[in-house]
Amino acid sequence: MAHILSEGFDWAANSSDLAVRWNAGTGGSPSTTTAFGTGRSWIPSGTPIIDLGVNYSEIFGSVRVRCDGTDRAFLYFYDGGTQQVSLRIDTATGTTSLRRGNQDGTTIGSVYGPISAFWQSWQFRIVFHNTTGVFELRRNGATTNMISLSGQNTRSTANNYFNRFGFACTNTCYIDDIWLNDTTGASNNSWCGDIRVITQVPTGAGSSTQFTPSTGSNWQCVDDMPNNGETDYVQSSTVGHKDLYAMSALGSTAGTIRGVNVFGMVKKMDAGARTAGIRHVSGATESTLVSSDALSSSYMLMSSHQALDPNTGLAWTQSGVESQQIGPIVVA
Ligand SMILES: [Ca+2]
Ligand SMILES: [Ca+2]
């Protein structure tokens, strides 16, 4: 499985948008308060949760958090509806801790670290087990642990795994740049470092323009960050029609590119069955990365993660990421 989840929040204009991907209480709002002065973070007022659909016994991850004053941010690792453990980033006490159960549960490990009104990136490793559980914690991409605990009880249910992930806060905390991977696969199977989730948007026409724009040029209808719903859009009812778009520069040259996550929001505008896909071009390699279920008249999110450049079979390069073309295709 390797990469499990990444989220940068730049795309969501409101809680209804976020509910297309996150469920079970997607309250909250986007914020332009970010660590790098671009894009958006998210201020949760409920508990956005993603059902991962797989039981994970070990997880590596990263999250960027800013808490102000005496606020607290929480990451939740659920087995079903029960938090196995919770990561609590607490500027009231100046500590980051892993708690058994919810954010107020028994402390498994704790360290002084969070600073009020200060963006920090936290990396964690958790092994879920009632006797041989592990909790390791790093900060800001460091390669050494602040906390190294083994032989712990890191579960609340009878199971040594989690399968749902969520986050929350008290008052106003900013959450951004979430990344989770497990230990399987050839890549993204260990510490991910201080991850930045950068959102690219269309900046021009690519090698195919077959959809019909609601206004202006096709790519200009889908270049919005955050998403602007039906203010402008492209549509087609012809099977095989595809749009491809040139994509924006990353705006950063730092670090290793750990993958490309491609997203599309799609719906149908009339009765009848219709499926859509995400079309992708990298160099000489063109493919449909993912096809949707039968569309409904409400927006659905399609996504596909490419850990490696499909044109080279190797890790992505910056030029590879910036020269890819992405767009919708009418599958059936
Ligand atoms: Ca962001
Ligand atoms: Ca648009």
**At 29, is the pLDDT very low, low, confident or very high (cuts 50, 70, 90)?**
very high
Taking residues 74-101, what's their average pLDDT?
Answer: 97
pLDDT, residue 25, reads 75
> For residue 201, which ligand has an atom nearest its CA?
2
| pLDDT tens digits, 153-170 | 999 999 999 999 999 999
Q: Which of these, 251, 243, 258, 235, lies nearest to 327 by C-alpha position?
A: 243
- What secondary structure does DSSP assign to 33-68, as a single string? --SSSSS-EEEESS--EEEEEEEESEEEEEEEEEE-
pLDDT, residue 67, reads 95
| pLDDT tens digits, 41-55 | 999 999 999 999 999
**At 189, is the pLDDT very low, low, confident or very high (cuts 50, 70, 90)?**
very high
Q: Which of these, 236, 241, 244, lies nearest to 213 by C-alpha position?
A: 236
Report how far ligand 2's centroid is from the alpha carbon of 230 (Å).
6
Report how far ligand 1's centroid is from the alpha carbon of 265 (Å).
18
> For residue 214, which ligand has an atom nearest its CA?
2
pLDDT, residue 273, reads 96
Residue 149: pLDDT above 80?
Answer: yes
Q: Which of these, 260, 259, 240, 223, lies nearest to 328 by C-alpha position?
A: 240
Find the range with the poorest average confidence among 22-26, 128-132, 204-208, 266-270: 22-26
For residue 104, CA distances in Å to 67, 83, 248 come to 17, 11, 43
**At 126, is the pLDDT very low, low, confident or very high (cuts 50, 70, 90)?**
very high
Taking residues 63-76, what's their average pLDDT?
Answer: 96
Report how far ligand 2's centroid is from the alpha carbon of 157 (Å).
44
pLDDT, residue 61, reads 98
Report how far ligand 2's centroid is from the alpha carbon of 327 (Å).
13
**At 264, is the pLDDT very low, low, confident or very high (cuts 50, 70, 90)?**
very high
The pair of structure tokens assigned to 180 is: 């989770």
Residue 1: pLDDT above 70?
Answer: no
Taking residues 147-157, what's their average pLDDT?
Answer: 98
Q: What percent of the chain has pLDDT over 90?
A: 92
CA 149 centroid distance within chain: 27
Residue 24: pLDDT above 90?
Answer: no
pLDDT, residue 229, reads 87
3-state secondary structure at position 280: strand
Structure pTM?
0.95
Report how far ligand 1's centroid is from the alpha carbon of 145 (Å).
25
Residue 88: pLDDT above 80?
Answer: yes
pLDDT, residue 253, reads 82
Question: Which residues lie near ion ligand 1 (Cβ < 5 Å)?
Answer: 8-10, 39, 176
pLDDT, residue 27, reads 85
